[in-house]
Amino acid sequence: MVVDRLWAALSGGPGVALACCFMAAAVALRWSGRRGARGAGARARQRRRAALESMDQAARRYRLQNPDLDSEALLALTLPQLVQKLHSGELSPEAALFTYVGKAWEVNKGTNCVTTYLADCETQLSQAPRQGLLYGVPVSLKECFSYKGQNSTLGLSLNEGVQAECDSVLVQVLKLQGAVPFVHTNIPQSMLSFDCSNPLFGQSTNPWKSSKSPGGSSGGEGALIGAGGSLLGLGSDIGGSIRFPSSFCGICGLKPTGNRLSKIGLKSCVYGQTAVQLSVGPMARDVESLALCMRALLCEDMFRLDPTVPPVPFKEEVYTSSRPLRIGYYETDNYTMPTPAMKRALLETKHSLEAAGHTLVPFLPSNIPYALETLSTGGLFSDGGTTFLQNFKGDFVDSCLGDLILILKLPRWLKGLLAFLLKPLLPRLAAFLSNMKSRSAKKLWKLQHEIEVYRNSVIAQWRALDLDVLLTPMLGPAMDLNVPGKAPGAVSYTMLYNCLDFPAGVVPVTTVTIEDEAQMEHYRGYFGDIWDKMLQKGMKKSVGLPVAVQCVALPWQEELCLRLMREVERLMPPEKRLF
């Protein structure tokens, strides 16, 4: 009776009006909830405009005062060459800094890769210790590295305006080694993407082709170094975030073992997740620059500032050895089908290494789907994504994240139901969904034990073949903008080595040919699902773009990994070298 009267009262005009009021209220609440995010975005962009203007003015001022400086010749120097000239006094630290400040400003116009200018670099010059291994070297930093007085937003509105109280440990060590950090570079929102876009600073683009992604999450670093705006940078990597930008932008990058370099002062969306190890490492144009950076960072200052890092200095005799290597390799992980260019890059590198006297042995780590779908995904999202999602309250969600936020917001029971229903049609998506459910502490401990068991089983496989190092394909060429978030399965070549916590580095070895492009038309992937289709679509129109290989070593053997990387680089024909 009451319901009938209520229905009659709401029928017709009054009901429609009430419904419209509810809709208007919902829209107003949504708009009001995002007001803070809009304000944060406006402030971030204003802050960056002012920083870029300061960069431009500083570079112009120095050029006017030093009209005879040959900037092009300075920019053409490799990092070891620049270091030698700075130490000898042939070049001044001011010349190096302001030349790269000007170049970074120019590169940013085309790639949108710089988030701020670390203006105190100008005063830092006078304090740089002359005896430091990186004396006078301008260094770029991924935005997540805390720098006193600066914001590390991670592309999230809740972090805008939150200034760091002190430098991260690695920034302190860089300064003690004479380096001069000068810019922060762009990242994808939250850093959990291998694209590079966020609502505060927008989309970074690839220096080789503006319609392509620079990779992520260290995408700003990749773009800046790849375009010549920096000689050396620091990135972080929890699924390929150093290696994707290095591959896509044609530079070198090293993901060390998780605790080889200090992570104190590194900003993150999720703290305390240790099942899948985060690493920090260098990015540069060549392997020797990576080695030089590792030499500088693995010093008494870092071991003093962070006693939790093993006090193991750089092992020079391992890196410089000329002993022939026993190298495992695989052409495919049987999860993400290599593109024609990836396969050609791997095989050409294998043949070059064999011709140089190294032994190449077929080797494929066991049960890769299990490592990716169960161990890695389960480790990263053991709380169902709750902690991660807290960073997005009242914020806009960037399209580079694909459907990740939507999926994580699903209730646990619905994730399980969808996984069950999708398993016959989309087994990979179903497996990821199933492992994104929250789990108890008991089940988390079980998962962490399973990761340990898996790691030991792969090491046993490795030892049984008496391998020194491993050569694998590396995802490439660069994908179209906004595609990485729609093809998450493509992290398989990189994520595996975060799960295993093995050091892994990337070296560019070739570029996409017309033949590679033609063969890509027939690419179908191993599953033929939406992820495979997006990968095929996103890698078209790529002739001339760089393609890399990945070099891997056992835990704590970064020097051996770099040794293989150096050998791969040395054997590359001169006509294929990008720098």
Both structure tokens of 379: 């480790």
59 and 105 in contact (C-beta within 8 Å)?
A: yes
Which of 190, 241, 246, 376 is an active site residue? 241
Q: Which residue has the tokens 């939250």?
A: 190
E strand spans, 223-276? 232-237, 252-255
What's 352-416 look like in SS3? Answer: HHHHCCCEEEECCCCCHHHHHHHHHHHHHCCCCCHHHHHHHCCCCCCHHHCCHHHHHHCCHHHHH
How many CB atoms are located within 10 Å of the residue 234 CB?
A: 28
Q: Is 282 helix (H, G, I), strand (E, B) or coil?
A: strand
The string of DSSP letters for 19-79 reads HHHHHHHHHHHHHHHTHHHHHHHHHHHHHHHHHHHHHHHHHHHHHHH-TT--HHHHHTS-H
Q: Is 516 helix (H, G, I), strand (E, B) or coil?
A: helix
- Separation of alpha carbons 66 and 330, rounded Å: 53
- Separation of alpha carbons 509 and 550, rounded Å: 10
- Separation of alpha carbons 215 and 193, rounded Å: 8
Annotation says 241 is catalytic = yes
Q: What angle separates helix 79-88 from helix 93-111, to the nearest 10 degrees?
A: 150
- Separation of alpha carbons 22 and 27, rounded Å: 9
What pLDDT sits at residue 579?
A: 77
* Region of residue 397 (left: phi > 0; alpha: psi -120 to 50; beta: else): beta
What pLDDT sits at residue 17?
A: 53
The string of DSSP letters for 136-193 reads T-EEEEETTB--BT-B--TT-GGGTT-BBSS--HHHHHHHHTT-EEEEEE---GGG-S
- Which one, of 310, 314, 280, lies nearest residue 295 by Cα? 314
What pLDDT sits at residue 23?
A: 52
Annotation says 217 is catalytic = yes
Both structure tokens of 237: 């990597």
What pLDDT sits at residue 20?
A: 53
- Separation of alpha carbons 363 and 462, rounded Å: 8
Which of 193, 204, 217, 542 is an active site residue? 217
**N residues, the chain:** 579
H or E element that contains 4: helix 2-10
**Amino acid occupying residue 514:** I
pLDDT digits (tens), the chain, 579 positions: 433 443 444 455 555 554 455 454 444 445 455 889 999 999 999 999 999 999 999 999 999 999 999 999 999 999 999 999 999 999 999 999 999 999 999 999 999 999 999 999 999 998 999 999 999 999 999 999 999 999 999 999 999 999 999 999 999 999 999 999 999 999 999 999 999 999 999 999 999 999 999 999 999 999 999 999 999 999 999 999 999 999 999 999 999 999 999 999 999 999 999 999 999 999 999 999 999 999 999 999 999 999 999 999 999 999 999 999 999 999 999 999 999 999 999 999 999 999 999 999 999 999 999 999 999 999 999 999 999 999 999 999 999 999 999 999 999 999 999 999 999 999 999 999 999 999 999 999 999 999 999 999 999 999 999 999 999 999 999 999 999 999 999 999 999 999 999 999 999 999 999 999 999 999 999 999 999 999 999 999 999 999 999 999 999 999 999 999 999 999 988 777 787
Task: Encode burial over 4-24: b for 16+ CB neighbours within 10 A, e otherwise.
Answer: eeeeeeeeeeeeeeeeeeeee
What pLDDT sits at residue 5?
A: 46
Which of 103, 140, 142, 263 is an active site residue? 142
